[in-house]
């Protein structure tokens, strides 16, 4: 079975679509206190299936990069550099706009003027995020890949980036450099953008998509780039699958061995996490190439193929709707308390939908929360299928 070096692998689109579905799924539970166990992130160190979703996407970004830049002979020239910078900037700005949406304070302080509330809103917009991390890793990984060109040189570049990331963490962190409280990654982001513009979901000012992780995140992109080159240039698809399985197992083993010395931590994107998650990414790509591109089982993955052709659109729209339902569309009602007094209670559309649909069917538990997340994924998968049927592909 011969294959052209310009042939598109449907497995890439399917795996990308499955990854986007996973990203939407884990970002939109019915209740953050009732998350379905397999959809939970590791609290800090360790790796759950959910922790593999984001690196899968970065890996696929790198694999697709190998195909898209084949027309430039995988060289860093004016055209390829311009494309990398332009796309990185657009993705970063889209992520920043998503963070800023709905572009006005939805819970203003009644004691402050409109201008003061708006200024307060602008002063607390998070700068980094998932799309911003993708943009920065695409920029660094793309430039390094097209600059070094040769696989051996790219591997050397990957080792250098991973080593630099580890050196900075180890030498500039505290007594426990890989811990939440003493790592250097958080302080770097605070120094660059200010404490009010970083994520605080861990209880302190620490952004899991900050600047330092771009070094190791770019290694994930480069790993995908190398694998993309293998499958793009293979004359026999089955040979490509064999190569991917071998490399995937080596990468997975490397991550496990490194984890003895450097813990697997998604929030820091440690080198052990890079190769551990990268190994699973390679193995999954090999599996789907065999299942879809060799065995022809594409029809069973039609929804994911549709999602994979409009991934950023689906992700952004899911984020927009999440904010609309959770922050913008809300109402207040008066509720009678046990002591006979009335209390004003604010309810968001997402809370109302969860309670009146999912909770009423399955109860206020992990299954009800999962149902809400699955319905959310189904909605945006339906939108992607509609675009696919209309042959509409929205790119940045």
Does residue 228 sit within a domain? yes
In the chain, which ranges are continuous DSSP H helix? Answer: 10-27, 53-68, 78-100, 114-122, 130-148, 151-172, 185-193, 213-233, 237-258, 271-288, 302-309, 311-323, 349-353, 360-362, 366-389
Would you say residue 362 lies in a domain? no
Burial degree of 343 (CB within 10 A; 0-12, 13-18, 19+): exposed
Specify the range with the lowest mean pLDDT, choosing from 160-164, 211-215, 352-356: 352-356
State mean pLDDT over 171-182: 95
Looking at residue 4, its pLDDT comes to: 42
Residue 156 lies in a domain: yes
Task: Compute the distance between CA of residue 133 and CA of residue 142 in angstroms, rounded to an integer.
Answer: 13
* Residue 278 resides in a domain: yes
- Structurally, how many domains does the chain consist of? 1
Whether 8 shows a pLDDT value over 70: the answer reads no
Q: Is residue 192 part of a domain?
A: yes
Range of the domain at 235: 41-296
Residue 1 confidence (pLDDT): 36
Average confidence (pLDDT) over 1-12 = 62
Specify if 244 maps to a domain: yes
Average pLDDT, the chain: 92
pTM: 0.93
Percent of the residues in the chain that have a pLDDT greater than 70, as a whole number: 97
What percentage of the chain has pLDDT greater than the value 90? Answer: 79
Could you tell me if residue 203 is inside a domain?
A: yes
The predicted pLDDT at position 72 comes to 67
Among 216, 250, 60, residue whose Cα is nearest residue 144: 216
**What per-residue confidence (pLDDT) applies to 7?**
58
């Amino acid at each position: 079975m011969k294959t052209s070096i310009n042939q598109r692998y449907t497995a890439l689109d399917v795996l990308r679509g499955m990854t986007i579905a996973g990203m939407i799924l884990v970002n939109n539970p019915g209740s953050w206190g009732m998350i379905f166990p397999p959809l939970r992130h590791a609290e800090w160190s360790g790796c759950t299936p959910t922790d593999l979703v984001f690196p899968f996407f970065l890996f696929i970004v790198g694999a697709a990069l190998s195909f898209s830049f084949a027309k430039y002979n995988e060289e860093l020239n004016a055209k390829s550099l311009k494309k990398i910078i332009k796309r990185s900037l657009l993705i970063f700005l889209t992520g920043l706009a998503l963070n800023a949406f709905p572009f006005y304070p939805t819970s203003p302080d009644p004691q402050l003027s409109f201008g003061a509330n708006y200024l307060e809103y602008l002063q607390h917009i998070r700068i980094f995020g998932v799309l911003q991390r993708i943009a920065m890793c695409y920029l660094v990984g793309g430039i390094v890949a097209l600059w070094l060109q040769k696989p051996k040189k790219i591997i050397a570049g990957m080792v250098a980036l991973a080593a630099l990331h580890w050196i900075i963490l180890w030498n500039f962190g505290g007594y426990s450099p890989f811990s939440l409280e003493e790592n250097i990654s958080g302080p770097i982001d605070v120094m660059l953008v200010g404490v009010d513009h970083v994520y605080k979901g861990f209880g302190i000012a620490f952004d899991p998509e900050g600047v330092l992780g771009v070094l190791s995140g770019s290694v994930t992109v480069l790993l995908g780039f190398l694998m993309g080159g293998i499958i793009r240039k293979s004359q026999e698809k089955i040979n490509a699958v064999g190569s991917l399985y071998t490399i995937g197992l080596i990468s997975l083993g490397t991550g496990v061995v490194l984890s003895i010395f450097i813990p697997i931590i998604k929030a820091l994107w440690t080198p052990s996490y890079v190769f551990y998650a990268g190994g699973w990414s390679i193995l999954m790509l090999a599996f789907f190439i065999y299942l879809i591109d060799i065995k022809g089982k594409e029809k069973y993955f039609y929804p994911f193929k549709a999602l994979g052709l409009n991934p950023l659109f689906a992700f952004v729209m899911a984020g927009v709707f999440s904010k609309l339902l959770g922050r913008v569309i809300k109402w207040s009602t008066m509720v009678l308390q046990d002591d006979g007094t009335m209390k004003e209670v604010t309810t968001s559309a997402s809370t109302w939908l969860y309670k009146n649909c999912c909770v009423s069917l399955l109860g206020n538990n992990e299954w009800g929360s999962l149902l809400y997340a699955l319905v959310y994924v189904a909605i945006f998968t339906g939108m992607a299928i509609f675009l696919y049927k209309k042959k509409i592909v929205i790119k940045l």
